Chain A
């Protein structure tokens, strides 16, 4: 009995030793862009889009699992592997695209900070520079362990969406039915909404971040089973949050009067008639998500680029030892926050652009990934099983198709405006 208990305790401890990377990556996935997409879906279509969450979760698990497996087995980051196996030129092109894409994503996060704090009547000219400074200091002055703890705490704060979803008192029966009942309509807006939901879920930066975080945490092949559990639980939690965001907006906005919302702040305002708390929690959740992602994106970008191109990297290095790393990191934050403060800057267009770029870059990340994970000399017995390869190629083709469609549509929309 005692032995059995100690065995369980061991499993439990191993799980906690690996917790972090998978959860954080999955949660950051619900960044300001994601929250906007889910809110808009709920506000316009009510409970109908809920069924997409299950397939989305599966796609997310498939891609995230591969990254964490590669990290655990090879002990190398994704950009390291790409550099070693595909050479400098391809790495350089990818990193250039990654910087561009992630920059627009950083802008989107700071835009999320601006609109969420303005709901609390705090001017963006105060909140955005302060947040930028806080983010910069957190990472430069903190160490990885304490920063990870803060990040994990931020993950817990996503719970605010669950509470605000419950406070709105949505129609749970309907929510339950539409969660498992696929509804397909040949309505152009509806289809693009679905594409948007998948498109915002799987982003290029996540693959780099997750794999590096797994390596940084020192997760080994032996602990990989526990790590996989963490990744799967993280992905499921992400979509549970997404579920409550959609449900909140469906209950508060759609059931009163369906409408198209322009940003996530508008969704928060829509919750106001259902009580101050629902509104407050929703807005606070948006702020938390934005600042959380704004902390991770610039850091992850600087890491990936410097690793791939062979520059000194890491927050444990001094400024003089890793100048390019710090330059890139600081530049992304300063420019990302600065752009949001420019008067008359087309913010909405910039956020849309970030989605287009995500879509363009995604195939260039996913295809090398699947090529690498099938290399026997790198992965040994941990290469993809054949059935998994089939599933992965089909999923990747599907994701790529959908993100490209989303990108094309967004470009068309921008041209028509």
Chain B
């Protein structure tokens, strides 16, 4: 173990010596001021007599694992509560934080810090957050035997640490979050499914904090991956405007599912805050019973007139950029919007641009009425090996589609 590394458990209780070398007190806690510096310990809280004193980072001449902290400046001020500091022992140790690269929630056992010499002072920089068995052993033994023995004892246990820059502290109080410069920007880069797993492990207040601050589009994607009951709880906890922003970004079928889990007043409140277009789509879907084709379908599909050619289809696809990731079938409707054909997307690539789409259609045309039961719908996917099933109303008009991922969700919930 390198000598310039110091664990937070070793810092706790370390003697603080004045210029003459006599002891003033022992370290009770240390704090970061994230607005000043993201990783440097800004102040040390020292307990001696009745009150705690604050030692600033530039008042320390030397930090030694065996010798303690030697001051270079004795002008100390009493400690007072300050909203801008993140106290390690109080706010970080034993709490949960998010390991952004490991994509999970972990509990902080200890911190690894590095002793640096900067312009005549000795400073400590947080390097890693320690989780896992090794740091548990260290915490348990600290104070029970000399520090050197503990270091030797923990040697055979493999370390389990996360770099400090890759940790995200969770704070549910918005004001404090601002003062501590905590943001969840980095979480926005995670895969929505990973982000969903992470928030599922947090407490309701922390969940709310994250959904309140992250980008609505990311929030919508993550929310779609969360189980329905928790979805409802999260939407309920948010301000209606924010909830509406998120719901607008969700696929209409998923938005309708989420809203249908809410109490009527809450879902109406959220609908009231939504833009007109997504609102009507979601409202239409809400009319259907959850266990029918109508309740399972979404309204994101591409439909073209009967006489359209491959070239028309390509134009239409370019215009619906945001659907492309999921799209695998396009549909043809007659002048009364009655469904007449389904064309697998891949066929477009091998057909000449001027050929009629109708000639590329799958045969027979598989479709389901809005009232079809969930079980029957699932059966059709299995039987005909389709990826997208068009749903039609009583007049045969195309009203929505059910995709294979909807079916997988249904099957998994059983």
Interface residues of A (CB under 8 A from B): 10, 17, 74-76, 83-84, 87-89, 92, 218, 220, 222, 309-312, 324
Whether a CB of chain A sits under 8 angstroms from the CB of B203 is yes
> Does B236 lie within 8 Å of A218, measured CB to CB?
no
**CA A17 to CA B233, docked complex, whole Å:** 13
Interface 0/1 of B194-236, CB less than 8 Å to A: 0000000011110100000000000000000001011001001
Inter-chain contact B236/A310, CB cutoff 8 Å: no
Q: How far is the CB of B372 from chain A (nearest CB, A)?
A: 25
Q: Classify chain B: how many residues form its interface, as a range.
A: 20 to 34
Query: In the complex, A92 Cα to B107 Cα: how many Å?
Result: 14
A89 and B204: CB pair below 8 A? Answer: no
User: Are A220 and B139 in contact, with the CB atoms below 8 A?
Assistant: no
Residues of A within 8 A of B136 (CB): 88, 92, 309-310
The main secondary structure of chain A at its interface with chain B is: helix
With contact pairs A87-B94, A88-B109 given, residues A75 and B203 touching in the complex (Cβ less than 8 Å): yes
B95 within 8 A of A: yes
- Listed by A's residue number, 20 A-B pairs whose Cβ atoms lie within 8 Å are A17-B229, A75-B202, A75-B205, A83-B94, A83-B107, A84-B94, A84-B95, A87-B94, A88-B94, A88-B140, A92-B140, A218-B229, A218-B230, A218-B233, A220-B204, A220-B233, A220-B236, A310-B106, A310-B131, A311-B132
CA distance A55 to B193 in the complex (A): 49
In angstroms, how far is the closest chain B Cβ from the Cβ of A90?
Answer: 10
- Find A222's partner among B104, B131, B227, B236 (CB 8 Å cutoff): B236
Interchain CA distance A312-B106 in the complex, whole Å: 8
Least CB distance from A75 to B in Å reads 4
Would you give the shortest CB distance from B260 to chain A, in whole angstroms?
Answer: 13
CA distance A17 to B229 in the complex (A): 9
User: Are B109 and A89 in touch, CB under 8 angstroms?
Assistant: no
**A-B contacts at CB below 8 angstroms, number:** 45
Cα distance A87–B9 in the bound complex, in angstroms: 12
Knowing A88-B94, A218-B229, say if A310 contacts B203 (CB, 8 Å): no
Residue of B nearest to A73 (CB): B204
Complexed CA–CA distance, A17 and B204 (Å): 18
Q: Who on chain A is nearest to B412 by CB? A: A143
Contact A310-B109, Cβ < 8 Å, known A88-B139, A88-B140: yes
A143 and B202 CA atoms in complex are apart in Å by 20
Bound-state CA distance A222–B236 (Å) is: 10
Return B244 CB to nearest CB of chain A, in Å: 20
A74 touching B233 in the complex, CB below 8 Å, given contacts A83-B107, A84-B95, A88-B136: no
**With A10-B263, A310-B132, A311-B132 already in contact, 17 other A-B pairs whose C-beta atoms are closer than 8 Å:** A74-B203, A75-B203, A75-B204, A75-B205, A84-B94, A87-B94, A88-B94, A88-B136, A88-B139, A218-B229, A218-B233, A220-B236, A309-B136, A310-B108, A310-B109, A310-B131, A310-B136
Chain B residue at minimal CB-CB distance from A86: B94
Chain B residue at smallest Cβ distance from A14: B263
The residue of chain B having its C-beta at the shortest distance from the C-beta of A85 within the complex is: B94
| Docked-complex contact A89 and B140, CB < 8 angstroms | yes
Interchain nearest-CB distance for B20 vs A (Å)? 35
Taken together as a complex, chains A and B put the C-alpha atoms of A76 and B170 apart, in Å, by 15
CB of B182 to closest CB in A, whole Å? 18
Query: Given the complex, which residues of B lie within 8 Å of A87, measured CB to CB?
Result: 93-94
> Most chain-A CB neighbours within 10 Å: which of B202, B227, B230, B233?
B233
Chain A residue with minimal CB distance to B104?
A312
Q: Complex Cα distance A83/B96, Å?
A: 10
**By CB atoms of chain B within 10 A, which of A17, A74, A76, A92 has the most?**
A76
Given A88-B136, A218-B229, the answer on whether A76 and B109 have CB atoms closer than 8 Å is: no
Question: Which residues of A sit under 8 angstroms from B109, Cβ to Cβ?
Answer: 88, 310
A111 to chain B, nearest CB (A): 33
Collect the chain B residues with CB atoms within 8 Å of residue A324's CB. Answer: 133
Question: Closest chain B residue to A223 by CB distance?
Answer: B233
- CB neighbours (8 Å) of A84 from chain B are 94-95
Question: Chain B 81-101, CB within 8 Å of chain A: the 1/0 string?
Answer: 000000000000111000000
Q: How far, in whole Å, are A75 and B207 apart by their CA atoms in the complex?
A: 10
Q: Cα distance A74–B204 when bound, in Å?
A: 7
Cβ of A88 to closest chain B Cβ, rounded Å: 5
Which residues on B sit within 8 Å (CB–CB) of A17? 229
A88 to B9, CA, bound (A): 12
A74 CA / B172 CA spacing, docked (Å): 12
List the 7 closest pairs (A to B, CB-CB), nearest first. A310-B107, A75-B203, A75-B204, A88-B139, A218-B229, A220-B233, A218-B230
